[in-house]
Amino acid sequence: MGLKEIVAEIKQELDARDARREEVFAIAREMRRLSTRALREIHRGRYSGAEALLRNAEELLSTLDEEDFRFTLLQEAVQEYVEAVLVHKILRGEEIPSHRELRVPAEWYLLGLGDVVGELRRRVLELLRTEEFEEIDRLLDVMDEISHELNSLVYPSAIVAIKRKQDVARLVLERTLGEVTLARKESELRRVLEEVHNSRS
């Protein structure tokens, strides 16, 4: 085989890969859109709507094969999908699926898991308005567990770029704990003042 034929054969392979890349890009864009919408539905308490959106995202994910995950443009979409699925399960009090069950790369699963802490903080702040401290405590425990498990991973960024997620998760947890502690004290103070007021009435 001459050089011309070799290059022509390579070109065919690259053309096929480029065409697939375009297909994967469209899938990734739609997955990310669905996952973002699902998170919005979750925070509005519309769990059935979120489930439908996540099922659609899962169907798109199922059209991908292992070779497609070499396209890094998929990473953010998969992270967003993992984040939405895990937040949905946690807020429903259900067991979270593993990366194998979701059929996603382990590293991308971990990065999505890191973002869950911020979403749970958002829910905790909503619950503070109604002083639902029992559910707040449950979510704080989950946030603490996620932060602890993430910080148990010590790898170079070439293996998994987790350092920033670890730092952010720890800071978010510490900040949320401080705000919850303050809210508890304020709630207790209001209760005591009300008791004093009622006793004098």
Is pLDDT above 80 for 196? no
- Banded pLDDT at 157 (limits 50, 70, 90): confident
User: Taking Cα atoms as reference points, which of 105, 92, 108 lies closest to residue 50?
Assistant: 92
Residue 179: pLDDT band with limits 50, 70, 90: very high
Secondary structure (DSSP) of 121-175: HHHHHHHHHTT-HHHHHHHHHHHHHHHHHHHT----TTT---HHHHHHHHHHHHH
| pLDDT cut 90: percent of the chain above it | 82
Q: What is the mean pLDDT of residues 163-170?
A: 94
Domain boundaries, the chain: 1-97, 105-201
Asked if 50 contacts 94 with a C-beta cutoff of 8 angstroms, the reply is no
Q: Which tens digits make up the pLDDT trace of 117-131?
A: 999 999 999 999 998
Residues 112, 81: contact at Cβ < 8 Å? yes
pTM of the model: 0.89
> Residue 61 — very low, low, confident or very high, per pLDDT cuts 50/70/90?
very high
Q: In this structure, what DSSP letter does residue 105 have?
A: -
CATH among 1.10.1740.10, 3.40.50.620, 1.20.58.2140, 2.60.40.790 for 1-97 = 1.20.58.2140
> Exposure pattern of 53-71 as b/e (b: 16+ CB <10 Å)?
bbebbeebbeebeeebbeb
Question: How many helices (H) and strands (E) are present in the chain, helices listed first?
Answer: 7, 0
Alpha-carbon gap, residue 75 to 32, rounded angstroms: 10
Confirm if 162 and 147 have CB atoms less than 8 A apart.
no
Residue 94 is predicted with a pLDDT of 95
Chain Cα centroid distance, residue 130: 25
